């Protein structure tokens, strides 16, 4: 079958773009605070679930998406205000543990607010498969890939051209120095959670038609996104994209040519391997300046 | 002091004697209730099983009591939430037996919970009707343990029977990593040779996998493959079904009874068209032919459940219904709640028509269902149709 590997590639790219979107959220918060936000997967879930319930009430799709992004963004801001911000002088490890607690809390909350069932969102432009070079993909995959690229462009504009973006970047390089030159580090942290949550929600809304969603959908997505972020180098946006795509491709090719039983193992072997061999990831900055 | 104390004792004794004399004179209402124990996964990952089961038990215990109870005695339900945890289930089973002193147990949403309680009920000699699926519960036969749901082996056999009828023999299996999925995969592999079915591919996917195109592409390339069977429940089968349509395999796709709910059709959308699966009569009560003995039972249960709980009926609640009814019939026939007698009567259950099928138990078969308990369904226009 000559077309087989093309199909593996197509599947891998779709999954990879999903992981990349989640990984971007990890990087934004990591940059602003050195915290790995383990509630990132829950932001994705909240976005998707909000969109599902908005669509169920008859809201048109674009409004539902905007609403879902808004809801998740507010949840992200509240998480920073009531949990992370209050402990901002604590160790990074403490903050990371707080995000783990927050993720469990959000999952429990989602069970109460929504339900424990699995939901699907209607795709943005039908589900008639498209043939490409002997492989088939659903139009939604193109949406995921396209929006991922658009978000990367928007983010690089935001971080290089706007004051808040530059402030975030400055904080990521040196928090203390940033504070000295008058950057309100507190606001940067606040904004980064809102941004990461909104980004997570966009990912959630885009992928829900392909992968479905439920209150616990965030766990695996969060872990895979984390693996992608580690692989590409935490804090690096191009790294998040590359990490996500490489992870998706490895998983798909691994499932295709090795054994499908090991598909999930691949992500975690990658985390371990990268942490052993190249702790800063493929595109991670070498931290010589911090010595 | 001493004098007063013994006077009090004497008075107490007199009161007790008087009271027991009154009861002895025979007021039925004051009789001990029949104590029915249950432990179910009402919360946690298996809550979709335990929740309707508990609702069903509560609803029918209430109803039977309103109608005067059994043998002139009311029913009392002792139900605990195991959260799907086998260790908790074991603790609750112990509590039911030792503290609540139940006459019998109807419960155990999952195979894990059930198997954790089996040694306890065997030792304490309490009749136990399990609501879980796997064959291991009744095979080998355990003296005090029964079950109401059909097994995954029967689902495999039903599917293979249908394949034989369609003259398909080369099958590709794709299954999830969950307990249900793997158990069904194992049973299918075991019984396939009996039906002349050759398994030419055997793929799997993880519990939270979001893309199965790689596995399905591999299946597409398997030599001579004629049909695909997906053993699993939850979101996995819906994604498999969607990917299956995306890749355009163009083969018959079978799903398991694990996804026999409207939710599956909703999730998989158009891709679900033409998918076949075995399912209990309960789901398709309204399209069963009029002569079907199960029709009145399943239609009535469905009406009761949906009117009371305002949510769709599920086969799992039906298993609890069957368990409770089999137990009650047995108690009626035994004329008492003597555990040994009740056990013997449960084993003698013959021709009981329940939501899961027609039950004919025997000393060697503590489930009592045959393949007619399953209906082969095909999804057409977003709805179930019976395959003749």
**Residues B73-92 pLDDT 10s:** 999 999 999 988 889 999 99
Q: Are residues B218 and B232 in the same domain?
A: yes
- What is the pLDDT averaged over residues B194-218? 85
Residue A74: per-residue pLDDT: 94
Residue B379 and residue B275 in contact, taking contact as beta carbons nearer than 8 Å: yes
Q: How many CB atoms lie under 10 A from the CB of residue B97?
A: 20
In terms of residue numbers, what domain contains A200?
18-284
CB within 8 Å: A117 and B263: yes
Query: Is pLDDT larger for residue B228 or for residue B262?
Result: B228
Q: Do B235 and B312 share a domain, yes or no?
A: no
Cβ contact A118–B206 (<8 Å): no
Percent of chain B exceeding pLDDT 70 equals: 92
Cβ contacts of residue A192 below 8 Å, gap of 6+?
A28, A29, A31, A32, A33, A80, A168
Residue of B nearest to A4 (CA): B217
Q: Answer whether residue A11 shows pLDDT above 80.
A: yes
If asked whether residues B267 and B358 sit together in one domain, one would say: no
B109 shares a domain with B79: yes
**Can you read off the two tokens belonging to residue A212?**
């479905």
B218 touches chain A (CB under 8 A): yes
Inside any domain, residue A172: yes
**Residue A1 maps to a domain:** no
A4, part of any domain = no
* pLDDT score for A282: 67
B267 part of a folded domain? yes
Is pLDDT at B22 greater than 50 in this prediction? no
**Coil vs helix vs strand at B380:** strand
Instruction: Give a yes or no: residue B4 inside a domain.
Output: no
Answer yes or no: do B238 and B380 share one domain.
Answer: yes
pLDDT at A283: 66
Helices (H), B261-381: 262-268, 295-309, 315-334, 339-347
Is the residue at A5 inside a domain?
no
pLDDT for the residue numbered B322:
93
The mean of the pLDDT values for chain A is 84
Mean pLDDT across the stretch A245-260? 84
Q: Are B189 and B156 in contact (CB under 8 A)?
A: no
- Mutation choice for A interface testing from B177, B214, B248, B273 by most A CBs within 10 A: B214
| Cα radius of gyration (chain B) | 24
User: How many Cβ pairs within 8 Å bridge chains A and B?
Assistant: 100
Same domain, B126 and B51: yes
Q: Which residue of B has its CA nearest to A248?
A: B211
B279 or A282, greater pLDDT? B279
* Distance from C-alpha of A8 to C-alpha of A140, rounded to nearest angstrom: 17
Residues B327 and B231 in one domain: no
Query: Given this model, what pLDDT does residue B14 score?
Result: 52
What count of residues does chain B have?
Answer: 388
**Which tokens go with A75?**
């949840």
Supply the pLDDT for residue A1. 46
Between A137 and B299, the more confident residue is B299
- Residue B28's pLDDT band (cuts 50, 70, 90): very low
Higher pLDDT, B10 or A273: A273
What's the domain count of chain A? 1
Higher pLDDT, residue B110 or B5: B110
Check residue B30 and give its pLDDT.
Answer: 56
- A26 lies in a domain? yes
- Shared-domain flag, residues B124 and B192: no
Q: Is residue B145 pLDDT above 50, yes or no?
A: yes
Instruction: Convert A196-257 into a string of H (helix), E (strand) and C (coil).
Output: HHHHHHHHHHHHHHHHCECCCHHHHHHHHHHHHHHHHCCCCHHHHHHHHHHHHHHHHHHHHH
Q: Are residues B77 and B130 in the same domain?
A: yes
- Read off the pLDDT band of B8 (50, 70, 90): low
Looking at the predicted structure, is the pLDDT value of residue B4 above 70?
A: no
Residue B348 · residue B133 · CB < 8 Å: no
Structural contact between residues B192 and B252, judged by C-beta atoms closer than 8 angstroms = no
Q: Look at residue A285 and tell me whether its pLDDT is greater than 80.
A: no
- The SS3 call for residue A281 is coil
Q: Check CB contact of B245 with chain A, cutoff 8 Å.
A: yes
Residue-wise pLDDT tens digits, A188-238 = 888 889 999 999 999 899 888 888 888 888 888 888 899 898 888 888 888
B342 assigned to some structural domain: yes
Instruction: Look at residue B97 in the predicted model and tell me its pLDDT.
Output: 94
Determine the Cα angle at A252 with ends A250 and A258, to 5°.
Answer: 80
* Residue B23 belongs to some domain of the structure: no
Please state whether beta strands B374-380 and B276-280 pair in parallel, antiparallel, or not at all (unpaired): antiparallel
Asked whether the beta carbons of residue A207 and residue B210 sit closer than 8 angstroms, the reply is yes
pLDDT band (50, 70, 90) for residue B15: low
Q: How far apart are CA A75 and CA A77, in angstroms?
A: 5
Chain A residues with CB under 8 Å of B204 CB are: 260-261
**Within-domain flag for A290:** no
The mean per-residue pLDDT over the stretch B208-218 comes to: 82
Nearest CA in chain A to B246: A129
B143 lies in the same domain as B269? no
State yes or no: pLDDT of B106 exceeds 90. Answer: yes
Nearest to B210 by CA among A111, A260, A216, A18: A18
Report the CATH number at residue A251: 1.10.3470
pLDDT of res. B123:
93
Question: Quick check: is B319 in a domain?
Answer: yes
Q: Is residue B7 part of a domain?
A: no
CATH assignment at residue B273: 3.40.50.2300
Residue B371 has pLDDT above 90, yes or no: no
pTM value > 0.80: no
Q: Is residue A289 part of a domain?
A: no
pLDDT tens per residue across span A132-162: 777 787 888 888 888 888 988 898 898 889 9
Asked if residue A191 is part of any domain, the answer here is yes
Find the Cα–Cα–Cα–Cα dihedral B194, B196, B200, B205, rounded to 10°.
-40
Do B339 and B254 share a domain, yes or no? no
Q: Smallest Cβ distance to B217: which of A7, A207, A263?
A: A7
Assess whether B362 and B382 both reside in one domain: no
CA distance B153 to B135: 7
Asked whether residue B168 is domain-assigned, the answer is yes
From B94-98, B126-130, B372-376, the region with the lowest mean pLDDT: B372-376
B31–chain A nearest CA distance, Å:
41
Specify the number of domains making up chain B.
2
**Is the predicted pLDDT of residue B122 greater than 90, yes or no?**
yes
Question: pLDDT-derived band of residue B27, with 50, 70 and 90 as boundaries?
Answer: very low
B22 in a structural domain: no
Structural domain range at position B223: 153-286+374-386
**What would the two tokens of residue B309 be?**
């709980």
């Amino acid at each position: 079958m000559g077309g087989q590997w093309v199909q593996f590639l197509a599947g891998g790219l779709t999954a990879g773009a999903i992981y990349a979107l989640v990984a971007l959220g990890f990087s934004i918060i990591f940059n602003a605070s050195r915290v790995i936000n383990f509630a990132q997967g829950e932001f994705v879930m909240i976005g998707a679930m909000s969109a599902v319930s908005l669509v169920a009430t008859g809201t048109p799709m674009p409004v539902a998406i905007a609403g879902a992004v808004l809801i998740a963004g507010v949840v992200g801001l509240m998480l920073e205000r009531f949990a992370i911000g209050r402990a901002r002088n604590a160790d990074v490890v403490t903050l990371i543990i707080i995000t783990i607690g927050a993720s469990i809390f959000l999952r429990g909350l989602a069970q109460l607010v929504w339900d424990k069932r699995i939901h699907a969102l209607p795709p943005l432009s039908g589900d008639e498969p498209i043939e490409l070079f002997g492989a088939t993909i659903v139009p939604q995959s193109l949406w995921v890939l396209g929006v991922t690229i658009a978000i990367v462009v928007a983010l690089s504009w935001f971080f290089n051209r706007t004051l808040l973006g530059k402030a975030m970047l400055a904080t990521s390089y040196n928090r203390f120095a940033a504070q000295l030159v008058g950057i309100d580090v507190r606001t940067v942290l606040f904004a980064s959670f809102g941004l990461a949550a909104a980004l997570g929600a966009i990912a959630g809304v885009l992928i829900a038609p392909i992968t479905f969603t439920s209150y616990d959908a965030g766990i695996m997505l969060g872990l895979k996104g984390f693996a992608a972020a580690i692989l590409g180098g935490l804090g690096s946006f191009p790294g998040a994209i590359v990490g996500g795509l490489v992870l998706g491709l490895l998983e798909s090719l691994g499932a295709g040519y090795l054994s499908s039983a090991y598909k999930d193992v691949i992500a975690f072997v990658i985390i371990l391997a990268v942490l052993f061999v190249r702790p800063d990831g493929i595109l991670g900055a070498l931290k010589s300046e911090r010595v | 002091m001493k004098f007063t104390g013994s006077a009090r004792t004497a008075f107490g004794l007199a009161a007790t004697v008087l009271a027991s004399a009154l009861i002895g004179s025979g007021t039925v209402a004051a009789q001990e209730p029949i104590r029915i124990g249950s432990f179910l996964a009402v919360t946690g990952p298996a809550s979709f099983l335990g929740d309707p089961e508990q609702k069903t038990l509560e609803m029918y215990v209430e109803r039977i009591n309103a109608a005067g109870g059994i043998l002139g005695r009311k029913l009392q339900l002792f139900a605990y939430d195991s959260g799907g945890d086998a260790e908790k289930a074991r603790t609750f089973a112990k509590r039911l037996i030792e503290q609540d002193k139940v006459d019998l147990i109807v419960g155990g949403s999952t195979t894990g919970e059930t198997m954790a309680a089996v040694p306890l009920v065997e030792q304490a000699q309490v009749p136990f009707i399990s609501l879980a699926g796997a064959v291991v519960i009744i095979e080998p036969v355990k003296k005090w343990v029964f079950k109401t749901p059909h097994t995954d082996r029967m689902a495999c056999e039903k599917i293979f029977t249908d394949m034989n009828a369609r003259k398909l023999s080369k099958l590709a299996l794709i299954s999830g990593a969950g307990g249900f999925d793997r158990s069904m995969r194992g049973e299918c592999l075991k019984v396939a040779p009996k039906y002349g079915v050759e398994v030419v591919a055997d793929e799997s996917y993880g519990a939270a996998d979001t893309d199965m195109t790689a596995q399905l592409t591999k299946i597409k390339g398997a030599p001579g493959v004629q049909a695909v069977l997906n053993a699993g429940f939850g979101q996995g089968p819906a994604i498999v079904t969607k990917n299956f349509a995306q890749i355009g395999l163009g083969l018959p796709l079978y799903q398991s009874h694990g996804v026999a709910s409207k939710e599956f059709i909703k999730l998989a959308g158009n891709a679900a068209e033409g998918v076949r699966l075995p399912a209990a009569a309960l789901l398709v009560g309204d399209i069963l032919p009029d002569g079907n003995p199960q029709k009145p039972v399943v239609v009535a249960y469905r009406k009761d459940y949906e009117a009371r709980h305002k949510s769709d009926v599920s086969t799992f609640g039906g298993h609890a219904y069957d368990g409770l009814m089999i137990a009650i019939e047995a108690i009626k026939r035994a004329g008492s709640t003597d555990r040994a007698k009740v056990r013997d009567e449960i084993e003698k259950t013959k021709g009981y028509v329940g939501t899961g099928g027609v039950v004919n138990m025997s000393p060697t078969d503590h489930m009592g269902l045959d393949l007619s308990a399953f209906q082969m369904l095909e999804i057409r226009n977003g709805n179930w149709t019976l395959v003749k």
